[in-house]
Amino acid sequence: MKKITIAIDGFSSCGKSTMAKDLAKEIGYIYIDSGAMYRAVTLYCIKNGLFSGDEINIPELERHIKDIHITFKLDEKTQLPRTYLNGEDVEDAIRTMEVSSKVSPVSAIDFVRSALVSLQQEMGKEKGIVMDGRDIGTTVFPEAELKIYVTASPDIRALRRYDELQAKGQEVKFEEILQNVKERDYIDQNRKVSPLKRAKDALLLDNSLLTIEEQKEWLLKQFEKATQQN
Ligand SMILES: Nc1ncnc2c1ncn2[C@@H]1O[C@H](COP(=O)(O)OP(=O)(O)O)[C@@H](O)[C@H]1O
Ligand SMILES: Nc1ccn([C@@H]2O[C@H](COP(=O)(O)OP(=O)(O)O)[C@@H](O)[C@H]2O)c(=O)n1
């Protein structure tokens, strides 16, 4: 069967990666978490002293951008990709609140976006890929055969992320997560370069009241329809 490209975009913490991973496993496609790449650049900035407080040194980051190499390697046990920054496994380090609180301003920088978008397009050039993020259906793969735009209420999204971080043993406050989710949504929707918005041909999914299993079934149906049409 001809392979297609699947773009899943939407708001922070609504379940995009969960559904993208599930689908990719089920249909044997590659899964790429584009948010992990923006998080890895942010971690690089933190580790290399490119932040003073919340202020990012943009000219310095521009000088460093060619030294930032992001790759993914499949974890043998989970069969899920882990993110590597310059050869180091940073999959856990990029999921902290510190990175979450700094990632959206880094993601709004034009040269950061153009570097990562090129890399994402290279990863998807053979199709057979499920990629999730904010601009996958609008900028990275505007020709994707299946585009989904996911949303859920901010409170529900913050609670999902809170439960996840608590389960990982991270000390977090619900209010802090809710504020971060709202702040990131605002910056992501209002930045100049590739803001988060629904592509005209994206299917809208509000999964506020869906279980993980229900959204998985819904997405699989959309995939089957899309492959029949293409
Ligand atoms: N439909 C759902 N109902 C409840 N929890 C969900 C649902 N979808 C995802 N989750 C959980 O919500 C959290 C955020 O999901 P994730 O896929 O990381 O979101 P995103 O990629 O959009 O940021 C995860 O802990 C995930 O297990
Ligand atoms: N394609 C993408 C993916 C993520 N991002 C940025 O990266 C941040 C982290 O993305 P993510 O997908 O890991 O976010 P979560 O919703 O999973 O926390 C987002 O808030 C965006 O600022 C982006 O600008 N474009």
Which ipTM score applies to this complex? 0.97
pLDDT in tens, 106-141: 999 999 999 999 999 999 999 999 999 999 999 999
Counting the structural domains of the chain, the total is 1
Domain that holds residue 39: 5-221
166-221: pLDDT as tens digits: 999 989 999 999 999 999 999 999 999 999 999 999 999 999 999 999 999 999 99
In a domain? residue 229: no
Token pair for 54? 């919340």
Does residue 107 sit within a domain?
yes
78, part of any domain: yes
In a domain, 59, yes or no: yes
Does 1 score more than 90 pLDDT? no
Q: Is residue 16 part of a domain?
A: yes
Asked if residues 59 and 9 have their Cβ atoms less than 8 Å apart, the reply is no
**CATH code of the domain containing 29:** 3.40.50.300
Atom of ligand 1 nearest to the CA of 167: 25
CB-based pocket (< 6 A), ligand 2: 12-13, 34-35, 38-39, 103-104, 107, 133-136, 184, 188
CA distance 46 to 48: 6
Please check whether residue 29 lies inside any domain of the structure.
Answer: yes
Pairing mode, strands 88-89 and 81-85: antiparallel
Atom 22, ligand 2: residue with shortest CA distance: 104
